[in-house]
Amino acid sequence: MGITVRRVGTTRPAPGSDGTVVGKVALVLETLADAGVAGVSELSRRTGLAKTTVHRTAKELHAVGFVERAGDGYRLGAKMFELGSRVPGRRHLRDAALPFLEDLSRATNQTVHLAVLDGVEVIYVERLVGARSSEVPSSVAARLPLHCTATGKCILAFGEPLHAARVLREPLEPLTQHSIRDTDDLRKQLDTVADRGFAEEVSEVSEGLRSLAAPIYSFGDALIGAISATGPIEDFDRDGIEPLVLLAASGLSRTLGGLS
């Protein structure tokens, strides 16, 4: 049992024939889950709801923490993650992953993450702080771009091509001066990731930090996320950490019924 990677759509049909408030709320939330970030006009176009309805619905969802502002648009809020973390499938993934994350953190002394796809971003569903990397600025429920994170590159390289195609046709917004900006460079990196079986990033998310990640799979070898180890560059033994991350990811994948 695991998390199914959502297929990202471009449009959504008009709301259900009942036109209930709950139906409209669900439609806005599902559309944001697909889009990642969207403004009122985009939500109106995708849902078929009137802009006034979308504006009112988004405002009310924002008031209770189900969505949050992201520039001129909205995205799913932390409370949605909190509710989602109580769903048996998500809870099963975290429970299954915890022993592997604990072993990886102890073996590497680095901060380790369990990440899954969330629109055009990764979201951390678990994080354990390493003895040598307490300064890593991450948290559970934090979202980061797919293109400049090690976990995100895993999802792009090993997940459904649709996700990579979507990211590759949009501008790549950098987080630091080292973040990848060119889509051709990203394509080459993803090819390398696919060949190696793991992904890495150096100072692309935070200056001075390095991360290495490997994919995790569930039944039918469906990609459901990635495990990573992150820490200061000067204290990050890449050659020693790489096999440990791969071992943790393959162990968790087998526990979840993957890598058959």
| Domain range list for the chain | 21-77, 85-255
- Residue-wise pLDDT for 12-36, tens only, equals 344 443 468 888 888 888 888 777 7
Question: pLDDT at position 137, please?
Answer: 60
Question: pLDDT at position 155, please?
Answer: 93
Cα 117 to Cα 14, 95, 223: the distances in Å are: 26, 18, 10
The CATH topology of domain 85-255 is Beta-Lactamase (3.30.450)
- Which two structure tokens, joined as six digits, stand for 114? 């369990």
pLDDT > 70 fraction of the chain, expressed in percent and rounded: 84
**Strand intervals (E) in 166-256:** 199-202, 209-218, 222-232
Contacts of 171 (CB under 8 A, 6+ apart): none
The CATH topology of domain 21-77 is Arc Repressor Mutant, subunit A (1.10.10)
Q: What is the mean pLDDT of the chain?
A: 84
CA–CA separation, 189 and 193 (whole Å): 6
Whether the predicted model's global pTM rises above the 0.85 cut: no
Strand partners, 117: 122
Question: pLDDT at position 135, please?
Answer: 65
153 pLDDT above the threshold of 70: yes
- Residue-wise pLDDT for 190-238, tens only, equals 999 999 999 999 999 999 999 999 999 988 788 989 999 999 999 899 9
